[in-house]
């Protein structure tokens, strides 16, 4: 929850131009409320590192123009009047496009300041976990205002089953979360100030909502045609792992190991039978099986052949990059090492360029013998899956969600569609098994569930 404060000279200029009683103030207040809501929604969706550093927000300027109101007998859009009179409250840094569906990135101008009303004073965070709980309990009205802003429809819902159609509630471990906030403020010395502030905002919002709902945090469902259930705003899916652990407290996590690659290898026997009769499966898919059966050794071999700095301090970071790169390849990432401009003129980088930013290391990666073999094996599986779709489920090729801008089916998007539906089916089975043993998941994260008690316990 944020508060925007506008320089008084904006209202003064507006009042001079439109002197009719109160109309200028009413118009500006409406415009600021719309802008405030758009920026708050952008913060809820999450900001990347550059947006946080440069204080940029992804908002629809089209919505701001059209919902920001009009003023005067000629019904001039207030947004345009502010621009024409050098009194704009926002500055467009990256303009959005209706073609790509990307919204604009804007910065606030010096005429407006932003205040985060979620924050507690720093001394409260630094004092103790108990002081954080006490401060939030003493500030109930602010938390209730936040709740009503995030969940305006809840007051009109009377049945639990109707509520669960819209939200997935999560039981929050308040003690664990306040301890995390205290640690974040006093001991997390390796995190940047921007990162700590982001995590602090997220954790404080969760605590405020939990204080209104007696320990629950509501995640707004956002189903995807690709099969997954996403959430809009802050959720267990998009917070960092430490914050997720703090939210849930002591629990057990069950996930699918090497999920996408494991799923694709499930088609290997069928591929051998139909295309490689008489050949050894382990030979045809040797690199993929090496990755699945001994991922630690596979990644370590790659690391030693790609990176020059093999210091212990860089190990976890480098292994993380390699896992991201292999996962991207599994979903059809291009092996291009150079970027390009799309139809709207926006510069695009291939996934591998974004992951392995050092060009020398990137070239070593794409030319590594294990990677080349792994890519060839993934191509075999991908083509088999595409052939199956064309032969038995050709209607999927007509879905706009799996097509490129030019209207042609995208191989990588089709593979993602198939995989995510398969992933959801597997996790549904896991949830059914858990339910049969009297265990309800605390939370779900794509290829994982979290349980308060061990699944194998009676």
pLDDT, tens digit, for every residue of 187-244?
998 888 878 888 998 999 999 999 999 999 999 998 888 878 888 889 999 899 999 9
**SS3 annotation, the chain:** CEEEEECHHHHHHHHHHCCCCCHHHHHHHHHHHHHHHHHHHHHHHCCCHHHHHHCEEEECHHHHHHHCCEECCCCEEHHHHHHHCCCCCEEEEECCECCCCECEEEEECCCEEEEECCCCCHHHHHHCHHHHHHHHHCCHHHHHHHHHHHCCCHHHCCCHHHHHHHEEEEECCHHHHHHHHHHHHHCCCCCCHHHHHHHHHHHHHHHHHHHHCCCEEEEEEEECCCCCEEEECCCCCCCCHHHHHHHHCCCEEEECCCHHHHHHHCCHHHHHHHHCCCCCHHHHCHHHHHHHHCHHHHHHHHHHHHCCCCCHHHHHHHHHHHHHHHHHHHCCCCCCCCCEECCCCCEECCHHHHHCCCHHHHHHHHCCHHHHHHHHHHHHHHHHHHHHHHHHCHHHHHCHHHECCCCCECHHHHHHHHHHHHHHHHHHHHHHHHHHCCCCCCEEECCEEEECCCCCCC
pLDDT at 342 over 70: no
Average pLDDT across the chain, whole number: 89
pLDDT, tens digit, for every residue of 258-302?
788 999 999 999 999 999 988 999 999 999 999 999 999 999 999
pLDDT at 456 over 90: no
Q: What was the pLDDT predicted at 229?
A: 83
pLDDT, tens digit, for every residue of 151-165?
989 999 999 999 999
pLDDT at 347 over 60: no
Q: Average pLDDT for residues 171-177, to the nearest whole number?
A: 96
Q: Which of the four pLDDT bands, split at 50, 70 and 90, describes residue 46?
A: confident
Its pTM stands at 0.78
Q: Average pLDDT for residues 366-389, to the nearest whole number?
A: 93
pLDDT at 340 over 80: no
Among 2-11, 343-352, 382-391, name the one with the lowest average pLDDT: 343-352
Q: What was the pLDDT predicted at 224?
A: 84
pLDDT at 15 over 90: yes
Q: What was the pLDDT predicted at 100?
A: 57
Q: Domain segments of the chain: what residues?
A: 2-116, 122-249, 267-390
Q: What percent of the chain has pLDDT over 90?
A: 61
Q: What was the pLDDT predicted at 345?
A: 53
pLDDT, tens digit, for every residue of 139-152?
899 899 899 989 98
């Amino acid at each position: 929850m944020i508060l925007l404060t506008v320089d008084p000279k904006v209202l003064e200029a507006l009042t001079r131009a439109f002197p009719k009683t109160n109309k200028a103030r009413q118009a500006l207040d409406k415009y600021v409320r719309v802008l405030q809501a758009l920026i708050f929604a952008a913060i809820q969706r999450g900001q990347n590192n550059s947006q946080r550093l440069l204080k940029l927000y992804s908002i629809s300027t089209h919505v701001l123009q059209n919902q920001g109101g009009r003023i005067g007998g000629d019904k001039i859009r207030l947004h345009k009047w502010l621009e024409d009179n050098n009194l704009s409250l926002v500055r467009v840094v990256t303009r959005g496009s209706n073609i790509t569906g990307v919204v604009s990135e804007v910065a606030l101008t010096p005429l407006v300041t932003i205040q985060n009303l979620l924050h507690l004073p720093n001394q409260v965070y630094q004092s103790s976990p108990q002081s954080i709980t006490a401060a939030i309990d003493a500030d109930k009205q602010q938390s209730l205002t936040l709740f009503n802003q995030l969940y305006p429809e809840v007051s009109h819902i009377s049945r639990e089953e109707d509520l669960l159609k819209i939200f997935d509630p999560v039981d929050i471990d308040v003690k664990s979360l306040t301890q995390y906030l205290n640690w974040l403020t006093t001991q997390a010395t390796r995190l940047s100030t921007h990162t700590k502030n982001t995590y602090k905002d997220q954790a404080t919002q969760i605590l405020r909502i939990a204080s209104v709902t007696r320990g629950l945090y509501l995640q707004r469902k956002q189903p995807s045609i690709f099969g997954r259930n996403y959430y809009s705003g802050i959720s267990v899916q998009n917070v960092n792992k430490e914050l997720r652990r703090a939210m849930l407290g002591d629990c057990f996590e069950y996930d699918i190991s090497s999920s996408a690659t494991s799923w694709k290898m499930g088609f290997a026997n069928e591929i051998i039978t139909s295309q490689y009769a008489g050949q050894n499966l382990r030979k045809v898919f040797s690199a993929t099986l090496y990755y699945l059966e001994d991922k630690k050794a596979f990644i370590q071999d790659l690391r030693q052949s790609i990176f020059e700095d093999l210091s212990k301090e860089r190990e976890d970071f480098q292994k993380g990059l390699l896992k991201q790169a292999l996962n991207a390849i599994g979903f059809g990432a291009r092996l291009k090492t150079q970027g390009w401009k799309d139809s709207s003129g926006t510069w695009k980088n291939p996934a591998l360029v974004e992951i392995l930013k050092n060009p020398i290391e990137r070239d070593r990666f794409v030319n590594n013998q294990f990677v080349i073999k792994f890519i060839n094996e993934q191509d075999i599986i991908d083509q088999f899956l595409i052939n199956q779709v064309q032969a038995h489920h050709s209607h999927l090729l007509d879905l706009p969600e799996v097509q490129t801008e030019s209207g042609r089916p995208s191989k990588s998007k089709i593979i993602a569609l198939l995989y995510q539906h398969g992933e959801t089916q597997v996790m549904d089975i896991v949830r059914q098994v858990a339910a049969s043993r009297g265990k309800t998941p605390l939370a779900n994260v794509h290829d994982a569930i979290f349980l308060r008690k061990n699944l194998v316990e009676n």
